[in-house]
Amino acid sequence: MSFFSRLLQPPPYLNIPIFALDISDRSFKYIQFEKTPHGRRVRAFGSGTFPAGLVQSGVITDTSKLAALLREQLSATAFRYVALALPEEKGFVRSIRIPEVAPEELREVIALQLEEYVPLPPEETSFVYHVLPEILPSTMDVLIAAYPTQLITMYRDAMDQAGYIPVSLEIESQAIARSVIPTAEEKDAVLVIDIGLTRTSFLFAKNGYTQLTSTIPIGGNTMHESIMNTLHVPEAEAERLKKEYGMGRTKEGRQVYEALLPLITSLQNEIQQRIEFWQKETHKEANTRDTPKLNHIYLCGREANLIGLPPLLSTQLQIPVSLPNVWINALPNQRVLPEIEFRDSLGYATSIGLAIGAEE
């Protein structure tokens, strides 16, 4: 699956071992592949945690402390070169249509119009772009990914202080799409919902490219709070009930379902609103009377393992919803998968996609 949104790319001649690092508000995950005569295999993987407040909505509040924690928790590794994900909630992905221009003029034309599509001062914004297949004659459809330059500097500084050399910086959503969406479905319109501890991100993709992204502050923590408040149990017990019973058909599962119903209903409404917005935007860009069809929804991320959630959303939205095989593009021909439980593997979707991309 090709990609456009790599804000920093390794030189094509650089053949070095790279580890992929996915940093979130409360944890990090990493993975490293190596090539063998029989194909790609996992060389190393793992995870670690951060104290509350060190990373807030993707913003590192203390780069020195984060670097020290990474050095400490990764001290047993010999990592040097890193492919890093940038936080979804701070990035902007938009598809725009402009009159056809010469390739050498395209970046300047986009820069002049950037403020219309990205709510950041142009002089404080870093962006990359990719030209999409032509839909209308004499026009160009261009996909833009933009971030505050200050945020990119922040992440690069943290890596430098930790002793790592960033060889690629990539928007989180495209890394996820690269690992989650099977090659056979690449041309389909797919929604991937990444449910984390502190937030849920939505990414719409088609033809191998992320088209639209957004993030809401609903995640594992809000689920725990709903269970705690409804069932009057401590946080550890709320997390255990969610993990072991989910919204299954047991007595405990029914209790969790009732506790989470308002939150799941809110999530369902958020999904429906975003689908309708995506359909409206896609319909306008395609210049057709047909309503765009969403083929599939995949749930990934640390908190996507809630028993009963995929069939519930599928019934309500009338769209197939499932948990993905995050190894399907990374290790397509291997019968023996890494020693990561399926429920845990969903949290590695970003780092797996980063690691694949680092080889491209």
203 plus 291 within the same structural domain: yes
**Beta-bridge mates of residue 201:** 194, 215
> 1-10, 37-46, 95-104, 144-153: which range is least confident on average?
1-10
Rounded Cα–Cα distance for residues 323 and 341 (Å):
13
Task: State residue 96's pLDDT score.
Answer: 85
Task: State residue 48's pLDDT score.
Answer: 96
Assigned domain for 358 exists:
yes
At residue 129, does pLDDT exceed 90?
no
Check if the beta carbon of residue 225 is closer than 8 Å to that of residue 209: no
- Helix (H) / strand (E) containing 56: strand 55-56
Task: State residue 208's pLDDT score.
Answer: 76
Q: Which tokens in the block code for residue 35?
A: 């090539």
* pLDDT confidence band for 4 (50 / 70 / 90): very low
At residue 284, does pLDDT exceed 70?
no
Task: Give the residue carrying structure tokens 């004499």.
Answer: 138
210 plus 334 within the same structural domain: no
Can you give the residue range of the structural domain that contains 214? 186-323
Task: State residue 2's pLDDT score.
Answer: 33
Task: State residue 301's pLDDT score.
Answer: 94
262 plus 357 within the same structural domain: no
234 plus 353 within the same structural domain: no
Q: Which tokens in the block code for residue 276?
A: 């309708």
Cα angle 297-252-218, degrees, rounded to a multiple of 5: 40
165 plus 306 within the same structural domain: no
At residue 227, does pLDDT exceed 60?
yes
Assigned domain for 339 exists:
yes
Task: State residue 49's pLDDT score.
Answer: 94
At residue 16, does pLDDT exceed 90?
no
Task: State residue 93's pLDDT score.
Answer: 87
Assigned domain for 214 exists:
yes
Average pLDDT over residues 192-210: 91
Rounded Cα–Cα distance for residues 300 and 6 (Å):
22
What pTM value is reported for the model? 0.90
Task: State residue 288's pLDDT score.
Answer: 57
Task: Give the residue carrying structure tokens 């309500």.
Answer: 316
- pLDDT 10s digits, 60-107: 999 999 999 999 999 989 899 999 999 988 988 888 888 999 999 999
Of the candidates 39, 85, 79, the one whose C-alpha atom is nearest the C-alpha of residue 177 is 85
- List of residues 6+ apart from 167 with CB closer than 8 A: 8, 9, 10, 14, 16, 18, 81, 82, 83, 358
CA 140 remoteness from chain centre: 27
Assigned domain for 270 exists:
yes
75 plus 216 within the same structural domain: no
82 plus 168 within the same structural domain: yes
Assigned domain for 360 exists:
yes
Rounded Cα–Cα distance for residues 42 and 51 (Å):
28
307 plus 347 within the same structural domain: no
- List of residues 6+ apart from 117 with CB closer than 8 A: 92, 94, 96, 144
Average pLDDT over residues 311-320: 96
DSSP codes of every residue in 168-207: EEEEHHHHHHHHHS-GGGTTS-EEEEEE-SS-EEEEEEET
CATH code, 56: 3.30.420.40
Average pLDDT over residues 178-187: 90
Average pLDDT over residues 148-171: 95
Task: State residue 97's pLDDT score.
Answer: 86
Rounded Cα–Cα distance for residues 211 and 232 (Å):
42
Ranked by mean pLDDT, which of 110-114, 153-157, 171-175 comes out on top? 153-157
318 plus 340 within the same structural domain: no
Task: State residue 13's pLDDT score.
Answer: 43
SS3 215: strand
Rounded Cα–Cα distance for residues 29 and 315 (Å):
32
173 plus 54 within the same structural domain: yes
309 plus 243 within the same structural domain: yes
Query: What is the average pLDDT value for the chain, to the nearest integer?
Result: 90
For the chain, how many structural domains are there in total? 2
For 53, which DSSP code?
A: T
- pLDDT 10s digits, 324-356: 999 999 998 777 778 899 999 999 999 999 999
Average pLDDT over residues 12-27: 83
Task: State residue 326's pLDDT score.
Answer: 96
45 plus 174 within the same structural domain: yes
